[in-house]
């Protein structure tokens, strides 16, 4: 099993389990000194999709999942690793238990945009943020973003 830090579409366990059926939620987590930005354009999602950008003092809110290695390799294909869209990297994230964890996450290969976020993509982020009860202010920020895309 490997740890995956989800901050974008894979926040939604429903979406993640389509590709990684044995993924198990572990806990909420934070990635310090980064922020989420929509720097990748997706034809499939018809808009910007999430990436992380270095930004000292900021945090990326997300969750840790345990995923079998073969399923994570399949997720690499789904995320476009072979096409040069994302790369899977290992980062230290802070679990809600106060411990640091080495977790795989997907980071954009080339910074572009920023692009107008994909409505479908933000819906998945909001679904996951609500499902895992991430910080209420963050959930509200995603809700406002989604409403602005109508």
> Domain ranges in the chain?
2-148
Q: Given a cut of 80, is residue 150 above it in pLDDT?
A: no
Over the stretch 46-104, which tens digit does the pLDDT of each residue have?
999 999 999 999 999 999 999 999 999 999 999 999 999 999 999 999 999 999 999 99
At residue 44, the pLDDT reads 92
3-state helix, strand, coil in the chain (%, to 5): 30, 45, 25
Q: Is the CATH number of domain 2-148 3.10.490.10?
A: yes
Whole-number Å distance between alpha carbons of 12 and 22: 14
Which of 118, 111, 86, 84 has the alpha carbon at shortest distance from 6?
A: 86
pLDDT, the chain, mean? 97
Q: Given a cut of 80, is residue 39 above it in pLDDT?
A: yes
């Amino acid at each position: 099993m490997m740890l995956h830090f989800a901050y974008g579409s894979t926040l939604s366990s429903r979406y993640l389990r389509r590709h990684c059926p044995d993924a198990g939620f572990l806990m909420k987590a934070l990635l310090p000194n980064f922020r989420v930005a929509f720097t990748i354009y997706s034809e499939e999602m018809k808009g910007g999709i999430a990436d992380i950008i270095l930004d000292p003092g900021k945090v990326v809110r997300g969750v840790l999942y345990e995923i079998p290695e073969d399923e994570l390799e399949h997720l690499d294909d789904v995320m476009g690793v072979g096409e040069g869209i994302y790369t899977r990297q290992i980062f230290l994230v802070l679990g809600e238990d106060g411990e640091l964890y080495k977790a795989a996450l997907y980071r954009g290969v080339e910074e572009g945009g920023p692009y107008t976020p994909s409505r479908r993509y933000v819906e998945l982020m909001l679904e996951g943020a609500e499902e895992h009860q991430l910080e209420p202010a963050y959930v509200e920020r995603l809700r406002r973003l989604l409403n602005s895309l109508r």
